[in-house]
Structure 1
Amino acid sequence: MPDWSYQTLFRPLLFRLPPRIARNATLQAMGGLSRIPGGSLVIRTLGHMEVSPLLEQKRIGITFKYPVGLSGGLDPHGTAHAALAQFGFGFIEIGPVTTEPIAEKPVVRDAAREMLISELIESNDGLDAIVKRLQGKQGHSLPIFARLRHMPGRTPTEALTENKRMLQALMPFAAGFYLDCTDSDWSAEAELDHMASLLDTAREIAPAKPLLIYLPLDMQEERLTSLLRTLSGAGKGYDGIVIGDAMRGEWGYEIGQETLPYSIRLASCARSICGEAATIIAAGGVHEPEDALALVGAGANYVQLHSGLVFSGPGLPKRVNEALLHELVKGEEATSEPGFWQGWGWMCLLGLGMIIGGVIAWIIAATTVVLPYDIAFLCATPEMLEQLNDRLLPFMSHDRITLAGTMIAIGILYYQLARYGLRRRLHWARTALMTSGLFGFSSFFLYLGYGYFDPLHATVAALLLPMFVLSMRDRRDEPYRKRPNMRNDRVWRMAQRGQFMMVSLGFALVLGGIIISIVGITDVFVPEDLAFLMTTPSVLNGANENLIPLIAHDRAGFGGALLSVALGLLATALWGIQEGERWLWWTFLAAGLPPFIAAFSVHIVIGYMDWWHLTPPLIALLLFVLGLVWLYPYLMRSPSAIPDHTN
């Protein structure tokens, strides 16, 4: 469920449901997918959540792949942790954990304020159920932090006993502990004494585990300052501070974007008291990448996400990672650009070769239609074919012109991805080219399905394959150095609709390529084809036994080419769309026009105007146009026009 599908399709539907039902349905769907063999791969493929190893860091004895964590309140039952772990998170909070289960209370979703409101934030399954869950297969390897909370109404002594039991039970599974030990019913002195005792107890039970003090978001700065200074003065060691994501409001506990200023203020205060050595995690109000940057600027080392995933979408962790990576590398000098012959230049030449080949194929298909070796294979001249069926040559022209348009599209896409992707060593661009190229060259064997060997196609493949291999030599990756999107503004939301259209187009064309390839090597014709030809396969085969193999060769070739360009388009639409990448919009336009022009023009010219037959390309054209329109403001936005709210 990437942002392009969440913002466009799922969020409008889910927001019509009660919050708890919507949450449970979403988590169960994602959790179910992650448990299917290959399900986690599907999630990673759709989102391409991997960002860069440069974000990996080690603190408090733990290696964090990414500086973004998942708040425990988002998935309190652990239903979809295996799926959520693929979203670009570096660690997961479990909790709050209490010794006994605490039932959930109704949650109100205020979409206008981007706020979740609940009467109770301590709801959980209880210690025994959580331990039982952790004893099973987690489906991920992310560090788990257990947030320990005493039951409501407990005295400090009773709370200490409960925490001791939870520490002992969770120690085998937790990488560290959040000690959530403040209580508004206790005096300040009792609260401080309890915290000091809990730190001593936790050090005895889990001496190698990092301990972080969990503080409510609505804690006053004076109280925070007094608490931390008193603990430090008493020699009570702790490894860091966690600033929570909920604060008391008029109608209950509020979790949402409006809490960000409180989180920033407490993070800054904690950093000034604890110094640089302490680890600070802030969990309140991150709904946009710029929110995370603000918290990091205030002193946080890590951020946790909760309500931001509900209102912004599951792509938020990746977007935050990209923003933090940009801040990390923007002052560094980029490595030297690879030379033309180092890899990307060969792909440019391959693309140009496909464009030239497509233009030549179009000219031939629009004039003579068949080539000398086709005539030799058929043992028949064009005049003889026309006498056999006056619609036969136009039908063959229809197949070959659409193939030519697809070849031109492949060439344009490959050239652009090489020039603007491979040259910048963008991982997604190389993956898109690799996937498309492997299927494209493999589809050559479809030409042999009916026993017809095309020497021209074989020669072209033999010339282009070495270029493809040489272009894939440079395996180094560079981080994306342009400023990524920081805000969930109207242009970004519109772009999610545009991306949804382009991804849908890619999936539709992949399906179309597979179907056409299968038809090409099996039945060869669909009913509409035979209606246009006004004949049957048996009549054609009786007239010339080599005729159907030749047509099958054309159909399978077109199906393979369509599958190749569809995979390249799909990968580009899934992974490559970034704010201000103008070249990408022009690539979509330039690569999309030749196939549509070829398909519709040849059908009009030869009079093959069956509406059922033309419905798929018409739907594809609609997706293409809507995608271009909705992506235009986002991709064409100049860097100077992108608002910078991070200062």
Structure 2
Amino acid sequence: MPDWSYHPLKKLILNKLSPKTSREFIHKSMSTIASIPGGRNLIEFLGHMKAPQELQKEIQYSGFPSPIGLSGHLDPNLSGLNAFQVLGFGFIEIGPIVVKKPKIESEPKIENSQILFSNYHEKVPLKQVIKKLTTLNMQIPILAKIDTQVTRNEWDIIVQHLTPFVDGFIGTSEQINSFVANNAVCLEHSFYVSISTKDMNNIELNTRKLLRHPSIGGFVINAPRQTEDSYWYESGYANECLAKIVKEVKELSPEIIVITSGGVETPEEARTLVHAGADLLILTDGYVKAGPGLPKRIHERLLYEKIRPIETQNWFWSFLFGLSILIGGIIALYFAFTSVILPYDESFIGLTRTNILQVNPLILSFMSHDRMALAGTMISGGILYIQLARHGIKNDMHWTRIAFHSAAIVGFIGIFLFIGFGYFDWLHGLFWLILLPIYHFSYKEGKKITGAPFSSHGKNDRVWQYGLYGQLLFIMLGFMILVGGIVISTIGVSKVFVSTDLSFLCMTPQMLDHISNNLIPVIAHDRAGFGSALISVGLLVLMISLWGFRKGERWIWNTLCLGALPAFIAGIGTHIYIGYTTFIHLLPVYFLVILYLLGLVLSYPFLKQK
């Protein structure tokens, strides 16, 4: 559930449910998807959330793919555990863990858009933790937070049973002093001391006292809280307070591991804590407010501090590939406006252009409309490929390489649709033969493109929210173009015509077949070719919209704006040109144009902002 789907759904449905109901719905839904075959690949395709290698860390002999973790308060039932490890998190906190589930528990609630956690918050029993962890293949570290009310005996039981499954434990300073100091079992594990900002009044004294224990791995500093009756919520100044304390602790003991819990709702706030010296960050209610894309956006903000754009020399062949498709589309458009059919078409059909005009002039008009639409789609595809090469592959953006080659391979496979009715277009075949070596070199140079995306965007402002709705509309646009291409290709290799086509032609398939047995195969080949081109362009628009939306990425807006115009102009213009203007036939195109225009308007401030 990326941000572009989370926020509309949250506004329309989730905010109207109880916090627990909406929480469990989201977590269980995502975990179910992550559990089915191909589910994790689907999540990665939709969100591209995998943490970049540049942010990997090794702490206490455990590898953390990312410094960003999730608080146990947000998933006390462990229902989303399977999904979180594919949403970009580098580790997960579970708990508070108890031996037996308490009789009194209170769910969180929302007041004035603020999440309130109960002092009697939900806790997870040890048996449930063990059952969950034994059935899951966790690939990221887990930190187990032990409840503050457990006894010495319960502490030992929890530590002994969870040792094989977790990478560290979190407890209070009182628990560490009482249960860990002289316990031989505990000395073998890493413990992190959970402390509040109030406990850090005498930072130097507390730090030196706790670091005397050899099993202490570091501190978990919790964001300052405010209380209302029996509920609490994070203070508005949490980020500033945490940054100040982290900096002071690091100045006293630079080698100590410091983990912050809370105080992060935006990428900029995460950057502030990292710059102050925090080694790991645990997200709390800020994750709920900002959306599941927050870890990804934090990664991109942190990477912005580490790397700068690197222009590679490995984009010439990719640019040439797109340019070739663009030129091919222009040539196809020229023939569609002039002769429509070529000599080898006439030879296969057994009729000349003049003969067909004498039988029914609308037949050539109909063939012209398919070929114009194909040409416009090819020109759009060429623009999209060129833009991906010039601005993405040239600047070492790995996601652009995936989008480029996925669509190109699908386009090459589409050549087999041309012969679905027994007609092979030699000009198309020659065109693909020319493209094939160009694409071969493009694919080879693309192997060197490995860069992760980065961004300076740090705030959850209104411009970003409008951008999410614009992104959603473009994703819908790309998906519907893709589906439309599949439908048209299927029709092209099966029944060829829809009812409105036959109404325009004023002829039945039998009548066309009577004119020439080879007339319908030529028309079918045009349809299938157009559908195949739509599939490639739909994939490009979809992947650019899914993976390319970042603040100030002006070229993304320009690409979507310019790239769609030839296809839309050809798609609508050709129907007006030949007089085939049946409303129901053009309704899908009208709807796509509306999505396109609204998407451009809503995403303009976000993408075009410098």
Same fold (TM over 0.5): yes
Letter in 1 for 2:298: V
Match of 2:225 in 1: 247
Task: State the Cα distance separating 1:368 from its structure 2 match.
Answer: 1.4
The more displaced of 93-102 and 479-488 is 479-488
Task: State the Cα distance separating 1:46 from its structure 2 match.
Answer: 0.3
The answer to whether structure 1 residue 615 and structure 2 residue 593 are counterparts is no
Q: Is the CA contact (8 Å cut-off) linking 1:267 and 1:295 kept in structure 2? A: yes
Q: After superposition, what is the alpha-carbon deviation per residue over 1:347-366, rounded to whole angstroms, capped at 9, x for unaligned? A: 11121111111112112112
The answer to whether structure 1 residue 626 and structure 2 residue 593 are counterparts is no
Q: Is the CA contact (8 Å cut-off) linking 1:145 and 1:178 kept in structure 2? A: yes
**Of the candidates 585, 589, 593, which is equivalent to residue 565 of structure 2?**
593
Alignment of 1:346-365 (within 5 A): 346-365=317-336
Match of 1:90 in 2: 90
Task: State the Cα distance separating 1:257 from its structure 2 match.
Answer: 5.7
Match of 1:140 in 2: 138
Letter in 2 for 1:630: L
Q: Is the CA contact (8 Å cut-off) linking 1:116 and 1:256 kept in structure 2? A: no
Give percent identity, aligned residues only. Answer: 37
* Distance across 2 between alignment mates of 1:455 and 1:178: 69
The answer to whether structure 1 residue 221 and structure 2 residue 200 are counterparts is yes
* Distance across 2 between alignment mates of 1:259 and 1:17: 28
Letter in 1 for 2:269: D
Alignment of 1:490-529 (within 5 A): 490-529=462-501
* Distance across 2 between alignment mates of 1:61 and 1:72: 22
**Of the candidates 309, 312, 323, which is equivalent to residue 338 of structure 1?**
312
* Distance across 2 between alignment mates of 1:222 and 1:67: 26
The answer to whether structure 1 residue 637 and structure 2 residue 590 are counterparts is no
The two structures, once aligned, show a CA RMSD in angstroms of 1.9
Q: Is the CA contact (8 Å cut-off) linking 1:7 and 1:313 kept in structure 2? A: yes
* Distance across 1 between alignment mates of 2:454 and 2:36: 37
Letter in 1 for 2:62: I
Task: State the Cα distance separating 1:268 from its structure 2 match.
Answer: 2.8
Q: Is the CA contact (8 Å cut-off) linking 1:96 and 1:149 kept in structure 2? A: yes
The answer to whether structure 1 residue 165 and structure 2 residue 157 are counterparts is yes
Match of 1:644 in 2: none
Match of 2:210 in 1: 231
The answer to whether structure 1 residue 205 and structure 2 residue 185 are counterparts is yes
The answer to whether structure 1 residue 328 and structure 2 residue 306 are counterparts is yes
**Of the candidates 265, 273, 280, which is equivalent to residue 302 of structure 1?**
280
Task: State the Cα distance separating 1:206 from its structure 2 match.
Answer: 4.6
Residue 429 of structure 2 aligns to a residue in which SS? helix
Say if 1:432 and 1:487 are closer, same or farther in 2 by CA, change over 3 A: same
Task: State the Cα distance separating 1:530 from its structure 2 match.
Answer: 1.2
Match of 1:5 in 2: 5
Letter in 1 for 2:312: P
Alignment of 1:456-495 (within 5 A): 456-474=427-445, 475-479=447-451, 483-495=455-467
* Distance across 2 between alignment mates of 1:313 and 1:357: 43
Q: Is the CA contact (8 Å cut-off) linking 1:176 and 1:210 kept in structure 2? A: yes
Letter in 1 for 2:180: L
Number of positions where the alignment pairs a residue of Structure 1 with one of Structure 2: 607
Match of 2:33 in 1: 33
5+ residue gaps, structure 1, are: 183-190, 639-647
The answer to whether structure 1 residue 107 and structure 2 residue 108 are counterparts is yes
Task: State the Cα distance separating 1:306 from its structure 2 match.
Answer: 2.0
Letter in 2 for 1:484: S
TM (norm. structure 2) is: 0.95
Match of 1:641 in 2: none
Q: Is the CA contact (8 Å cut-off) linking 1:5 and 1:500 kept in structure 2? A: yes
Q: Is the CA contact (8 Å cut-off) linking 1:352 and 1:415 kept in structure 2? A: yes
Match of 2:64 in 1: 64
The answer to whether structure 1 residue 50 and structure 2 residue 50 are counterparts is yes
* Distance across 1 between alignment mates of 2:336 and 2:38: 42
Q: After superposition, what is the alpha-carbon deviation per residue over 1:482-527, rounded to whole angstroms, capped at 9, x for unaligned? A: 6431111111111101100111101111111111111110111111
* Distance across 1 between alignment mates of 2:339 and 2:14: 56
The more displaced of 252-261 and 42-51 is 252-261
5+ residue gaps, structure 2, are: none
Match of 1:541 in 2: 513
Residue 579 of structure 1 aligns to a residue in which SS? coil
Residue 73 of structure 1 aligns to a residue in which SS? helix
Residue 73 of structure 2 aligns to a residue in which SS? coil
Task: State the Cα distance separating 1:256 from its structure 2 match.
Answer: 7.0
Say if 1:258 and 1:34 are closer, same or farther in 2 by CA, change over 3 A: farther
Match of 1:444 in 2: 415
Q: After superposition, what is the alpha-carbon deviation per residue over 1:412-434, rounded to whole angstroms, capped at 9, x for unaligned? A: 01111001111112100000001
Match of 1:376 in 2: 347
Task: State the Cα distance separating 1:298 from its structure 2 match.
Answer: 2.1
* Distance across 2 between alignment mates of 1:230 and 1:302: 22
* Distance across 2 between alignment mates of 1:378 and 1:33: 50
The answer to whether structure 1 residue 429 and structure 2 residue 400 are counterparts is yes
Match of 1:185 in 2: none
Task: State the Cα distance separating 1:51 from its structure 2 match.
Answer: 4.2
Say if 1:78 and 1:467 are closer, same or farther in 2 by CA, change over 3 A: same
Say if 1:345 and 1:628 are closer, same or farther in 2 by CA, change over 3 A: same
Task: State the Cα distance separating 1:377 from its structure 2 match.
Answer: 0.7
Residue 366 of structure 2 aligns to a residue in which SS? helix
* Distance across 1 between alignment mates of 2:468 and 2:518: 49
Q: Is the CA contact (8 Å cut-off) linking 1:199 and 1:236 kept in structure 2? A: no
The answer to whether structure 1 residue 22 and structure 2 residue 14 are counterparts is no
Match of 1:263 in 2: 242
Say if 1:624 and 1:86 are closer, same or farther in 2 by CA, change over 3 A: same
* Distance across 2 between alignment mates of 1:585 and 1:248: 43
Task: State the Cα distance separating 1:111 from its structure 2 match.
Answer: 5.3
* Distance across 1 between alignment mates of 2:279 and 2:564: 44
Letter in 2 for 1:264: A
* Distance across 1 between alignment mates of 2:454 and 2:287: 24
Q: Is the CA contact (8 Å cut-off) linking 1:211 and 1:240 kept in structure 2? A: yes
Residue 277 of structure 1 aligns to a residue in which SS? coil
Match of 1:291 in 2: 269
Task: State the Cα distance separating 1:16 from its structure 2 match.
Answer: 1.8
The more displaced of 514-523 and 302-311 is 302-311
* Distance across 2 between alignment mates of 1:95 and 1:567: 42
Residue 116 of structure 2 aligns to a residue in which SS? strand
Q: Is the CA contact (8 Å cut-off) linking 2:106 and 2:121 kept in structure 1? A: no
* Distance across 2 between alignment mates of 1:593 and 1:329: 35
* Distance across 2 between alignment mates of 1:300 and 1:89: 16
* Distance across 1 between alignment mates of 2:464 and 2:344: 53
Match of 1:186 in 2: none
**Of the candidates 454, 478, 500, which is equivalent to residue 425 of structure 2?**
454
Q: Is the CA contact (8 Å cut-off) linking 2:300 and 2:453 kept in structure 1? A: no
Letter in 1 for 2:155: N
Residue 303 of structure 1 aligns to a residue in which SS? strand
Letter in 2 for 1:476: K
Match of 1:187 in 2: none
Say if 1:606 and 1:276 are closer, same or farther in 2 by CA, change over 3 A: same
Q: Is the CA contact (8 Å cut-off) linking 1:326 and 1:480 kept in structure 2? A: no
* Distance across 1 between alignment mates of 2:64 and 2:533: 42
Residue 473 of structure 1 aligns to a residue in which SS? helix
Q: Is the CA contact (8 Å cut-off) linking 2:225 and 2:235 kept in structure 1? A: no
* Distance across 1 between alignment mates of 2:336 and 2:603: 34
Q: Is the CA contact (8 Å cut-off) linking 2:398 and 2:452 kept in structure 1? A: no
TM (norm. structure 1) is: 0.90
* Distance across 2 between alignment mates of 1:139 and 1:236: 30
